[in-house]
Structures are given as structure tokens and as C-alpha cells.
Chains A and B, each alone.
Chain A
Amino acid sequence: MLKVIAACGNGMGSSQMIKMKITKVFKKLNVDVTVDHNSVGAASSMAVNYDAVFVSQNFVDNFKTAASKGVKIIGLKNLLSEQEIEEKIKEAGLDK
């Protein structure tokens, strides 16, 4: 099963929204996935335990270490666009 985490500044607002949206999109794509959410600070230290991290574009650079270890870091411009999320999931090959 795919394991992903959504992160935002505090883990209270946008990360929960991202979590809802990506759960919905993965379901649509028939991908079995568990989705966690947390603050960027906490998520960046846990990121290596995940297949992918979904964050607001602003935070992509916070996950360089995880990225170098093969974790897919997905930066979103519009946090609520299912279309953007779906495109980026496919781009990263997470739907396979």
C-alpha cells in the first residue's frame, strides 16, 4: 500500500484540506493508500518513511533530504484543485 503524508505550516488547516483532496483523488484512481497529515517541521523529519509528500508549493524546499532519498515531493499551487492533484499523481507515477 502507498503511504503518503500531507503537510502545511502548522498541520492544522491546509494539510487537512490536502489530505481530504488527495484521498478523494487516489480513490478515484483506484489506488490503495494511507494518508497522514502533519506540520512541515514534523513531516520533514518523518518524510523518509513515506512514498510521497504533498505540500503547498512554498514548502517543497523543506523536503530536500527526503527527495534525495527517493521520496516524491509533490508541490501544489492550488490546494483544492483535484485536477492538479490528479495530474501530479500521474506525473510522479503514483497511480501505478
Chain B
Amino acid sequence: MLLRELVEKKLTCYEESFADWKEAIRANGNPLKREGYIEDAYLDAVIACVEKYGPYIVIIPNVAMPHSTEGAPGVLKTGIGFMKVEEAVHFDPNDPEKDARLFFMLASNDSEAHLNNIMQLSELLSNDDLVNDLLTVKNDEELLAVADKYGGE
């Protein structure tokens, strides 16, 4: 189960609110930075991507998947950083469908491991009940409870 793995690898964080989406993205990257997956250069690249392409990283309502390119400068290891924010982060002031409270930052320098991550994440986020439960978690303990509830791989 991907969620359990993220807790074990210490790649999770829980926050109250942010002044803007850039702050949110940097906070989402903090655990990845601390655990040696990325450096600041990658977060700069992720922010530049959103500025260039718009808020498409909000892939389904409430869920953002910030990322840049594979093997981008500042990527040291392949992984996913999870962040839950209490107050919705706005990516497009005119489109509430581009608000996000769940963040899954992708970092990759290994396409095989990355594809495996993407498959698991896609599976996870295709489950509406699971996503709704994720919106209520406030700490690792509650995240693990969600992981247990839905079990599986």
C-alpha cells in the first residue's frame, strides 16, 4: 500500500493553510528535501512548470500532483511526497475546481520505479471513497488507518 510506504519513508506532512500555491508546493517538497529525494532546484522547476502550463497539476477535484520532468535538476531519488492541507489551496482564482487539499509531489530519475509509483497513485486516486477519507486525515496515524481500511497493494 502506497500510503503506508509514504509514512514509513517519512514523506508526509500536514498543514493548516498557505498564502499561495507556491508556498504550498514548497511545503509539499519539504519532506522529500529532508529525506534526500530532491533539492531546492527541483521545487523551482515545479513552480516554473505550473507558471508555464497553468493549474493542470490539479488532476482531479481536491488533488494536486506537482511535478516537473524526469531527471530534472535537483532530483536525487524517485519518490512521492504527500501533504494534506486543511484550507484549500487555490491554483486558479476563477476556477474552484482547481482547488487542492491533497498534494502528491512526484520526483523521478528512474522511469521504471516512477511508473510503478504512478500506477499505484492512479489506482489510489481512482477510488472516490478513499480520496474522501484522505481529505479528513490530520496525521500519520489517521493516514495509516486509511491505508488499513483500503488495504491491497
Q: What is A's interface to B at a CB cutoff of 8 Å? A: 8-14, 16-17, 20-21, 39-40, 56-59, 77-82
Interface residue total, chain B, C-beta cutoff 8 A:
26
Q: Which residue of A lies closest to B127 (CB)?
A: A80
Q: A12-B69, A13-B65, A13-B106 are in contact. Are A59 and B122 (CB under 8 A)?
A: no
CB distance from B110 to the nearest CB of A (A): 12
Q: What is B's interface to A at a CB cutoff of 8 Å? A: 49, 52-57, 59-61, 65, 67-70, 97, 106, 108, 114-115, 118-119, 121-122, 125-126
User: Quick check: A17 and B106 within 8 Å, CB to CB?
Assistant: no
Q: Is the interface of A mostly helix, strand, loop or mixed?
A: mixed
What is the bound-complex CA distance between A12 and B121, given in angstroms?
Answer: 13
CB distance from B129 to the nearest CB of A (A): 14
A57 proximity list for chain B (CB < 8 A): 56
A20 proximity list for chain B (CB < 8 A): 118-119, 122
B118 proximity list for chain A (CB < 8 A): 13, 16-17, 20
User: Quick check: B54 and A21 within 8 Å, CB to CB?
Assistant: no
Query: Can you list 30 A-B contacts (CB < 8 A)?
Result: A9-B49, A9-B52, A10-B68, A10-B70, A12-B69, A12-B70, A12-B114, A13-B57, A13-B59, A13-B65, A13-B106, A14-B57, A14-B59, A16-B115, A16-B118, A17-B59, A17-B121, A20-B118, A20-B122, A56-B56, A56-B59, A58-B53, A58-B54, A59-B56, A77-B97, A78-B59, A78-B61, A80-B59, A80-B122, A80-B126
